[in-house]
Amino acid sequence: MFFFGKRSQSVNMDKNTLPVHIAIFLDGNGRWASQRGLPRSAGHREGANNLKKIVRYSHEIGIKYLTVYAFSTENWSRPKDEVDALMSLLLEFLKNADKEIAGKNIKIKVIGDSNGLTEDIKKEIVRVTENTKNNNGLTLVIALNYGSRSEIVEMVRRIAIDVKKGGLNTDAINEQLVSNYLYTAGLPDPDLVIRPSGENRLSNFLLWQSSYAELWYSNILWPDFSKKDLLHAIEEYQRRNRRYGGVGK
């Protein structure tokens, strides 16, 4: 069931049945800027500022895991000046994360292929991950240079290597073992996937992990996505009957 989000006045969210893990596409930044006659980089910066607000608010209401699609493996095909601006913004975001996000008892984890990232970004990933590893509030997972298909290919390669070395028996390969070889090992699968901006597809994001996630689509561009929009998505999630292939109630 897909819900196309609409802004309404009332929100009826049950704090006792919150999704444990929410995944969000940070989508529509460039279009947001174009609609205002601004360069696309301005939209990405506004989107980054909005991300900080949504992360802090998600922590406040009790969400345990929040995964955001910050930069995909396909995003390298964008114009070089836009990619450079995005990388600069990501570096700035990571450098300030301790003060602006992690200081709120938020743990930060980065998933994806580090190949292609600058040494400065790699260094900041190591630093912010290490500095926040003992925080026990919300876990912010940043999908950076991430693509689900490449993640699955890498998982298969690593399993094949371990089988070839003799450390893994093929009879031991099951869904849980596969999950343990993914970038998201140790994290629960997302319960709710939110995609703003009017696009209605998964775009190579958490394909294995989102097998039974509830999907919530909206025409709202990410920089305009508000706390109330997040609450509406959660409210809709709570109204659904998650049957996992069964009959349900």
Give the residue numbers annotated as catalytic, written as ranges: 27, 75
| Alpha carbon distance 9, 196 (integer Å) | 19
| Alpha carbon distance 237, 234 (integer Å) | 5
160: Cα separation from own chain's centroid: 28
Three-class secondary structure of residue 5 per DSSP: strand
List 216's β-bridge partners, or say none.
Answer: 3, 194
Non-local CB neighbours of 101 within 8 Å, separated by 6+ positions: 52, 55, 56, 108, 140
Structural contact between residues 138 and 63, judged by C-beta atoms closer than 8 angstroms: yes
Structural contact between residues 218 and 47, judged by C-beta atoms closer than 8 angstroms: no
| Alpha carbon distance 136, 149 (integer Å) | 30
